[in-house]
Structures are given as structure tokens and as C-alpha cells.
Amino acid sequence: MASGIYRLLSFVSANRERYQNRAMGAKTSSNHPQDTYEPSILLIVAGGTICMQDSEDGLVTSTLFLDECLSAKPVFNDGTPCPTYRVIDEHGVEREAPSLRLPRDRNGANVRCTVLEFNPLLDSSTAHSPTWNQLARTVRSNEANFDAFVICHGTDTLAYTSAALSYMLMPNLDKTVVLTGAQRSMFFADSDGSDNLLGSIVLASHLRIPEVCVYFGHKLLRGTRITKISASSYSGFESPNAGPLATVSETGIVVHWDNLQHPEPNHATNTSSQPKHSKALAEMNSASVVVIKIYPGLTPSLLTTILTTPSIRGAVLETLGAGNIPLDLIPALQSAVNRGVIIVNVTQCLHGSVSSAYEPARKLVEAGIQLGYDMTTEAAFTKLVYILAAQDKSSSPAEDLRGMVSKNLRGELTPPDLAIEGNGGPLSIAQLPIRYERTMNGGSGPGMGHLSLDFGVRQHL
């Protein structure tokens, strides 16, 4: 299949002739029209492989990313003068940031991309809660001044950061936030970075999906649903238990309506009835949560040692299959729960969900361990960090916040069907529920399955 970048270029048509004339000092017929529709993007370059260069010590983040990978490429810069814009950076300081204007698309729109580079740029293996806090504050501080946000981030911890930002910024997020990265640096000719970055900018600037997403390998995925499945493949991420929000191919760009999060029916018609949420951000601390993978031979004493560490307030338990564990480990877990540690049970498997069908999993529920259903480890981990941060700022009883673990907050899990939850085991074909889905192409409205969009007008989904 041809690279999706060629399809995107039909929307962002690179006017190379005009760019080359400007680069050579030639005069052009007119300046950029001031009345042209010009969606504004804040491109936050946090770091990662996408902006790394070779060095004696291996690949390291480079401060030449803007000059050599963005400004110098016609697909990201049409060559017309573009003023700097004032932004609030990751340190809370107001400063001028350079801007680029993408080539005009087929409907006459240019995307203005203001570039904010972190200082210092990060290797994503070091990214944890301080990075999440910085990114969330940067988006919130600039939210009123840009139409959407794109974040360049390393792939190693991209799934953690996207999930963390989902919990922190939603449900009071009004703009599209897209994270992306690369398996190969944009300083190299065979990089997937240009494809991923262009796709992120095009989708973020022309769609209004008010949540945190990840664009990678021609798919727009929910930020709380992704996991990294390959250290080298250009399709390095998967959303195991949820479909993509949008896909790009040589035949077009399709938004999957059924996979989007939609407001309640009464909210759609009466905005005054929508609940009001504070714009304040909870300060996250990832050092308070641990991930424990159940493996053959794990001893109760080792488990107790981990869970009695004074700083540990939450734990993600990666269990076997549908939520199983050796029974001799359960007393250590129950003791931790009695001390106030919040523990959530998720499966080690890439696909599927934990349940209380088997005896060990049921005894975990009886011991106070929360079911994580089909959450990824990354979503469960950051959810616990978020809940603990909310607990520190809330006057709600601890039990109320503990109950949030098994609830769907940001599209991170598939709630169990209450009608079949009590069957207590794998279902036979005679017991399976029947569901109908519409997958018509084209049209508009809440009943469609797939929505093909014309990108000339910003869509509000």
C-alpha cells in the first residue's frame, strides 16, 4: 500500500514552485491573503526519536529539528513570511515562538503551525509525571489561543503520556490534542516521522475531536487505548481493545463515527445542561504507583516487600489470562488493600479483558482488588496516578475514589454488559449478545458508521 502521506498531500498541496521562488529571492505575485481560513496549531516538540541526530554517544535529541527538518521542507513550510507568536512555555514563561505556514490545501486553507521546543528536549525513556504535568500545563495555558495541539514525543513512553494527558485534560478539553513520534529520526531519509507529523497536523487542524489522541502508522487512536507493540516497525502502536478514531490510506481519510465519544443526548441539544468541570490540573506523581507482573515463582514475601514500601499507594497487577493469580499471593495483596493501597487487576494479554469468572480472579475481587477489565497497563497505571492526585485534592471519601478505578472515565475501558455480567464464565454462542452496527459511507449525523470528510471546513464531531 502506498504511504498515507501521498493522500495527505492531496489536502496539503505543496506549492513547491512558489517555495523555491521565495528561497531564491524571486518576487511572488501576492502576499499570503489575510482573509484566508488559517487554522492555528501549537506544535509542542518535547523530544524523542523524531528529532534525534547521530552522535558519538548514539542518537541524541537535536536543537536543529526546526531549522533542518521543518523549515527546510516545503511540505511543512510554504516559504511565506509568518510572524512569531507569544506562547506560554513548559516552564510557565511567556516567550516568542517561530511559526511556519503549511502549503495551501485544495480548499484554499493554510495551516499556521507555531513551534514550541522544550528546553531541554527529552529522551522519552526519562518521561514520567513531571513531563505529564509540564505538557498538561502547556496545553491548558495556550488552549484559548490555538485551534488544536500536536505534541512530538518519544515512542518509549508515548502510551503513558497520552493516557496521563487524557485523564488530566478531559472532560473539559475543547480542542483536539494529537501526540505523535517516529521509529526513525526525521534527520534520516527513510524516516516515518514526516508521515506521522504531517498526518497529525492535518487531522488536528481539520477535525474537532475534543480528546487526547495518538497518530501513528496512518491511524488516529484514542490516547487511553494504545500500547507499543514493536521496537522498530513503522506500525509500532496498536489499540488492542478499541478501534481507531480515524484512518488514512491511499483511498481517503475516514473518521470512524462509532468509535468516537459522544455527549449524552440531552447535552447535545442543551449545552446549558452539560456538567461544568474545573480547568484546574491535578499534580501527578508517578512514584506512588507500581506495576507488578505475575510470573511463575513469584513469592508472597517478595510481593509483601514491594507493597510495604512506604511511598507506594497504588499498584497495577498484571495477571495471567482473564485475571488469574496463584492463591497463595492473595493474603499479601489483601493486607496491602487493608492498609489503603489501591490495586487494579489487568491482563498480561494484548487482547481481551479480566473478569471474575475463575476462582482466583473472584477471590481477588473479594480481597478488594479492582477489576480493570480491558484497560492497558499504561492506562491503568496513569489512571491510578490520576486518582491518587485527585484524592489528595478531594474531600470525597476514599472509597468513592477507589470505585473510580473500574469505571470508564476517558474511554479507557469497555464497561461490562450488566445483562450478561452474572453468567460467571466464558459464554457459549447461545449466550452471546447480538449487536447491530451501521457502516455506511458518506452522509452526516449520529447514525453513520464511517464518515468521509471534506477537509476544507473544520468539522465539529
Task: Return the C-alpha cell found at 305.
Answer: 516487600
CB 44 within 8 A of CB 135: yes
Distance of CA 438 to the CA centre of its chain: 26
Radius of gyration of the chain (CA): 23
CB 168 within 8 A of CB 385: no
Half-sphere exposure of 112 (CA within 13 A, CB side): 21
C-beta neighbour count of 456 within 10 angstroms: 14
Question: CA-to-CA distance for 23 and 64, rounded, in angstroms?
Answer: 19
For the question of residue 36 being annotated catalytic, the response is no
Question: CA-to-CA distance for 73 and 113, rounded, in angstroms?
Answer: 14
Half-sphere exposure of 329 (CA within 13 A, CB side): 22
CB 200 within 8 A of CB 150: yes
Catalytic residue among 80, 155, 180, 347: 155
Among residues 405, 399, 435, the alpha carbon closest in space to that of 419 is found at 435
CB 165 within 8 A of CB 139: yes
Catalytically active residues are 155
